[in-house]
């Protein structure tokens, strides 16, 4: 048994962290994450240069990572700096391209940005079967429908779109300029888009796409867990520092037992979140991967809410302000539970195993 | 034991309900229901409508232009207002300064300021907290030094809610450095047009402008603006906080939010079924509904006790803790229900004319959730409330 990250992954994490410290500090992040294009193309290029995009696929697909631990390494490091780069879409998009046997070179190099257009309007979980329709016409494919809250949709060059057709659910490639893409900022920063597809030309990547979509989504769910761990880890530092330095009633807040104990309760939850994320990373490509990922997403979602609310509460009014970095970290922690199934959705999936065979 | 409202209370409720049905502007109710921020004009308009009816200051004695309602009637009024999504009464003049002036103000102050609060001539804001004095309010350092017929104020206040709409501010200031910290504080009224005052917006977590910081540099305020005696400010502040805490349980707001949540959960589909039929989600809803119904009765029980005794005692602390927990849990479920569609900044969608990905009247659910994290922080954080209760029970 060995819980140490490999030398290569440790070096990748360090170099991401160093780059983000320079190019995605609090000020810069605040300026970038809420203004179009809701990320920093120069930072995107710098991360690609470091090998972040390349780490998202295995060697057999032209990358140099692709395992659960590679994904976790990248997203945990990005979470620590609240990096708004649309890497989640890249991860899931690359997973589909690789499964389709399509050319991944430009996306692996970060020259082409991908977004997975899966969710649709109506306020569902975003994981329901699509109502967007695909049909064959003039030797190609045409799509009709609307995709909703497509993370990174505004800055993507190519959209990977799920759509129903005569014989099932397929995954399609759409050039961004062929669709009507309306980008906007999210409440926790970073961009998403509403995508309208109106007789939109598309290329079919995989006609029977469910298995590939499930794999891509599982990768995304793991990434979000790791990101949350990175965010919580950073907030731990902010919170400890605040309790040590903020004085009320003539003493630092860290002298108040009730506050000390609450910080420690949070730290216990963080270590639990770290552990279940390791389990999910380890199991990702095995049969038990789906359930392990759901266990992680369920636990992390709850830990993240607790961290978010307590981080704000223990900071008092300061934690409620846009100016304080902690508020943006707190928002991200809550909103991670709005992506790819919330903790209740995942608990339900974990509980499915209790049904008698 | 009789848990039902008296016949007189029922008649009172009917009267309120009928009036609201006829007088609450539909556009306004729609905004409140959607969680949109109301502008100054909307709030002033609502105040004017209520004032015309004589219901703006429900708790003030009739001799000062109030409705003279008892706590149970005030509760019923709040419940009925929430039921139809009426705007909240801006509390700073009506619920905070008004009761203070009635209890501590001199005749001149009562005659001048109380009518101005009612008819909307003055919009008051609050200058209590300071950057270094939050939970530990008695450590406030904004100084008022006597200079002839004036006090000269220097210092900084913060978390001044809706100060951007206000023309006056009531402040706690330090007038003496001697003795116990609480004994050197005074309560003073300041015209915001006085030279030397600067108000700056504080942007909140969800992006809105609701609170401000206020800077005072050599601000000369007539000595007659002092309320009560010099160095009596802490007593007044405590009195004011008690009034701020009537209806602190926010039962009406929670009921309103829960009703909205219930409608939303029936409307939204999760995996092909209404979200309301999802066992995981429905269990969480049921839990909070049980807590809310208990809170409704706890609140009424404590209101009746307060009415009988003429003093709320420590009840507001308990009501604040549980009431805010319930409201925040409902807010959590409302944003959770929206799934990914909770994420967009609704203002951005409106500006770009993009249709919202989910029921538009719930588009602000994440905003409300984040904004309402303030509930357990302001007006004495829930930690401070617990400390008040623990001290009372255990001493120390």
The dihedral through the CA atoms of B276, B281, B287, B291 has a sign that is negative
Question: Is the residue at A329 inside a domain?
Answer: yes
Residues A23 and A50 in one domain: yes
Residues of B whose CB is below 8 A from A182: 352, 354
Average pLDDT over residues B365-374: 96
What is the per-residue pLDDT across B182-213, written as a single tens digit (0 to 9) for each? 999 999 999 999 999 999 999 999 999 999 99
Average pLDDT over residues B47-68: 97
Average pLDDT over residues A17-35: 97
Question: Is the residue at A162 inside a domain?
Answer: yes
Average pLDDT over residues A201-214: 98
Residues A78 and A155 in one domain: no
Average pLDDT over residues B337-347: 91
Where on the phi/psi map is residue A279: left (φ > 0), alpha (ψ -120 to 50), or beta? alpha
Residues of B whose CB is below 8 A from A247: 132
CATH of the domain at A39: 1.10.540.10
ipTM of the complex, rounded to two decimals? 0.96
Residues A146 and A227 in one domain: no
What is the per-residue pLDDT across A259-294, written as a single tens digit (0 to 9) for each? 999 999 999 999 999 999 999 999 999 999 999 999
Among the listed residues A299, A270, A296, A273, the one whose alpha carbon sits nearest the alpha carbon of residue A284 = A296
Interchain proximity B357–A249, CB inside 8 Å: no
Residues A185 and A268 in one domain: no
B354 touches chain A (CB under 8 A): yes
In this complex, the residue of A185, A187, A312 whose CB is nearest that of residue B366 is A187
Residues A82 and A141 in one domain: no
Distance CA(A158)–CA(A175), nearest Å, equals 5
Q: Which of residues 250-279 of B touch A (CB under 8 A)?
A: 267-272, 278-279
Among the listed residues A110, A154, A147, A152, the one whose alpha carbon sits nearest the alpha carbon of residue A128 = A147
pLDDT range class, residue B244, cuts 50, 70, 90: low
Residues A347 and A217 in one domain: yes
Residues of B whose CB is below 8 A from A250: 136, 139
Average pLDDT over residues B272-289: 95
Spatial neighbors of A60 by CB under 8 A, at least 6 apart, are none
Q: Is the pLDDT of residue B144 over 70?
A: yes
Q: Is the pLDDT of residue A311 over 70?
A: yes
Least confident of A58-67, A77-86, B308-317: B308-317
What is the per-residue pLDDT across B66-100, written as a single tens digit (0 to 9) for each? 999 998 999 999 999 999 999 999 999 999 999 99
Active-site residue, B79 included: no
Return the pLDDT at B36. 86
> Could you give the percent of chain A with pLDDT greater than 70?
100
Please report the domains of chain B, with CATH numbers, ordered by start residue.
Answer: 7-89 (1.10.540.10), 124-232 (2.40.110.10), 245-394 (1.20.140.10)
Residues A256 and A270 in one domain: yes
- Nearest-by-CA chain B residue for A129: B271
What would you report as the CA-atom Rg of chain A, rounded to the nearest whole angstrom?
A: 20
Q: Is the pLDDT of residue B309 over 90?
A: no
Q: Which of residues 52-91 of B touch A (CB under 8 A)?
A: none
Q: Which domain holds residue A199?
A: 116-207
Question: Is the residue at A156 inside a domain?
Answer: yes
CA distance A246 to chain B (A): 9
Residues A227 and A345 in one domain: yes
Split into its structural domains, chain A has a count of 3
Across chain B, mean pLDDT equals 94
Choosing from B244, B293, B348, B383, the catalytic residue is: B244
Residues A81 and A130 in one domain: no
Question: Is the residue at A2 inside a domain?
Answer: no
Q: Is the pLDDT of residue A352 over 80?
A: yes
> Which residue among A207, A224, A250 closes a domain?
A207
Residues of B whose CB is below 8 A from A185: 344-345, 348
Among the listed residues B363, B335, B366, the one whose alpha carbon sits nearest the alpha carbon of residue B31 = B363
Q: Is the pLDDT of residue B286 over 80?
A: yes
Question: Is the residue at A144 inside a domain?
Answer: yes
Q: Which of residues 282-301 of B touch A (CB under 8 A)?
A: 284
pLDDT range class, residue B247, cuts 50, 70, 90: confident
Return the pLDDT at B246. 65
CATH of the domain at A287: 1.20.140.10
Among the listed residues B5, B35, B27, the one whose alpha carbon sits nearest the alpha carbon of residue B256 = B35
- Give the distance between the most distant pair of CA atoms in chain A: 77
> Could you give the percent of chain B with pLDDT greater than 70?
99
- What DSSP element (H or E) covers A32? helix A26-33
pLDDT range class, residue B361, cuts 50, 70, 90: confident
Across chain A, mean pLDDT equals 97
Question: Is the residue at A1 inside a domain?
Answer: no
Distance CA(B265)–CA(B276), nearest Å, equals 5
Return the pLDDT at A12. 98
Return the pLDDT at B1. 85
- Chains A–B, number of C-beta pairs less than 8 Å apart: 162
Residues A216 and A200 in one domain: no
Return the pLDDT at B357. 83
pLDDT range class, residue B352, cuts 50, 70, 90: confident
Distance CA(A86)–CA(A91), nearest Å, equals 9
Interchain proximity A186–B278, CB inside 8 Å: no
Prediction pTM value: 0.96
Residues A25 and A103 in one domain: yes
For residue B77, what are the CA distances in angstroms to B59, B93, B119, B394?
Answer: 11, 18, 20, 36
Residues of B whose CB is below 8 A from A187: 206-207, 342-345, 366-367, 370
CATH of the domain at A153: 2.40.110.10
What is the per-residue pLDDT across B209-241, written as a single tens digit (0 to 9) for each? 999 999 999 999 999 999 999 999 999 998 887
Give yes or no for a contact between A222 and A280, defined as CB atoms under 8 angstroms apart.
yes
Return the pLDDT at B272. 84
**CA quadruple A85, A86, A87, A88: dihedral, nearest 10:** 140
Average pLDDT over residues B326-341: 96
Q: Is the pLDDT of residue B118 over 80?
A: yes
Distance CA(B88)–CA(B210), nearest Å, equals 14
- Give the distance between the most distant pair of CA atoms in chain B: 75
Residues A194 and A239 in one domain: no
């Amino acid at each position: 048994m060995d819980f140490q990250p490999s030398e290569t992954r440790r070096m990748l994490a360090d170099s991401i962290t160093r780059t983000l410290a320079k190019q995605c500090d609090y000020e810069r992040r605040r300026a970038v994450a809420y203004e179009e294009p809701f990320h920093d193309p120069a930072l995107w290029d710098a991360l690609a240069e470091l090998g972040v995009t390349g780490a998202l696929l295995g060697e057999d697909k032209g990358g140099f990572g692709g395992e659960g631990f590679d994904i976790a390494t990248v997203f945990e490091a990005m979470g620590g700096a609240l990096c708004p780069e649309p890497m989640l879409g890249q991860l899931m998009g690359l997973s589909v391209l690789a499964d389709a046997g399509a050319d991944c070179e430009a996306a692996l190099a970060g020259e082409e940005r991908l977004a997975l257009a899966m969710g649709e309007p109506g306020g569902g979980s975003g994981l329901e079967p699509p109502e967007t329709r695909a049909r064959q016409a003039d030797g190609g494919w045409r799509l009709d429908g609307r995709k909703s809250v497509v993370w990174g949709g505004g800055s993507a060059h190519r959209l990977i779109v799920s759509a129903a057709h005569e014989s099932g659910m397929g995954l399609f490639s759409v050039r961004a300029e062929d669709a009507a893409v309306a980008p906007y900022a999210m409440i926790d920063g970073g961009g998403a888009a509403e995508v309208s597809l109106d007789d939109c030309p598309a290329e079919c990547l995989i006609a029977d796409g469910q298995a590939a979509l499930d794999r891509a989504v599982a990768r995304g769910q793991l990434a979000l867990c790791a990101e949350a761990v990175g965010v919580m880890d950073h907030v731990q530092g902010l919170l400890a520092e605040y309790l040590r330095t903020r004085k009320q009633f003539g003493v630092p807040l860290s002298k108040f037992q009730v506050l000390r104990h609450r910080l420690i309760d949070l730290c216990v939850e963080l270590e639990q979140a770290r552990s279940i994320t390791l389990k999910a990373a380890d199991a990702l490509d095995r049969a038990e991967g789906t359930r392990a990922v759901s266990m992680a997403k369920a636990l992390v979602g709850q830990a993240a809410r607790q961290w978010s609310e307590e981080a704000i509460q223990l900071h008092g009014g300061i934690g409620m302000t846009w100016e304080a970095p902690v508020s943006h970290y707190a928002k991200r922690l809550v909103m991670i539970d709005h992506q790819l199934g919330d903790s209740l959705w995942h608990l339900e999936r974990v509980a499915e195993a209790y049904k008698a065979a | 034991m009789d848990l039902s409202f008296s016949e007189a209370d029922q008649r009172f409720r009917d009267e309120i309900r009928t009036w609201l049905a006829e007088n609450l502007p539909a556009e306004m109710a729609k905004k409140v229901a959607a969680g949109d921020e109301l502008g100054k004009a909307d709030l002033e308009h609502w105040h004017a409508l209520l004032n015309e009816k004589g219901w703006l200051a429900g708790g003030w004695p009739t001799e000062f232009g109030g409705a003279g309602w008892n706590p149970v009637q005030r509760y019923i009024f709040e419940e009925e207002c929430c039921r139809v999504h009426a705007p909240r009464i801006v509390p700073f003049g009506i619920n905070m300064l008004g009761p203070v002036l009635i209890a501590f103000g001199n005749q001149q102050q009562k005659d001048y300021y109380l009518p101005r609060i009612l008819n909307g001539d003055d919009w008051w804001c609050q200058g209590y907290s300071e950057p270094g004095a939050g939970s530990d309010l008695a450590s406030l350092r904004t100084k008022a030094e006597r200079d002839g017929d004036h006090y000269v104020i220097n210092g900084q206040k913060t978390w001044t809610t809706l100060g951007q709409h206000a023309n006056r501010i009531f402040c706690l200031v330090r007038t003496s450095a001697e003795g116990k910290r609480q004994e050197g504080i005074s309560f003073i009224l300041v015209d915001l047009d006085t030279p030397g005052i600067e108000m700056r917006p504080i942007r909140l977590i969800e992006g809105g402008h609701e609170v401000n910081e206020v800077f005072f540099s050599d601000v000369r305020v007539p000595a007659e603006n002092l309320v009560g005696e010099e160095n009596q400010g802490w007593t007044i502040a405590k009195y004011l906080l008690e009034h701020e805490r009537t209806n602190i349980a926010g039962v009406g707001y929670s009921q309103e939010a829960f009703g909205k949540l219930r409608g939303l959960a029936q409307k939204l589909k999760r995996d092909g079924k209404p979200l309301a039929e999802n066992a995981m989600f429905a269990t969480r809803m049921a839990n909070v509904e049980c807590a809310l119904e208990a809170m409704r009765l706890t609140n009424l029980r404590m209101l009746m006790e307060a009415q009988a005794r003429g003093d709320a005692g420590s009840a507001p602390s308990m009501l604040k803790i549980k009431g805010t927990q319930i409201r925040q849990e409902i807010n959590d479920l409302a944003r959770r229900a929206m799934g990914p569609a909770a994420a967009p900044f609704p203002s951005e969608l409106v500006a770009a004319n993009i249709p919202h990905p989910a029921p538009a009247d719930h588009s602000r659910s994440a905003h409300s959730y984040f904004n309402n994290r303030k509930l357990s922080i302001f007006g004495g954080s829930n930690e401070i409330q617990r400390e008040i209760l623990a001290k009372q029970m255990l001493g120390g």
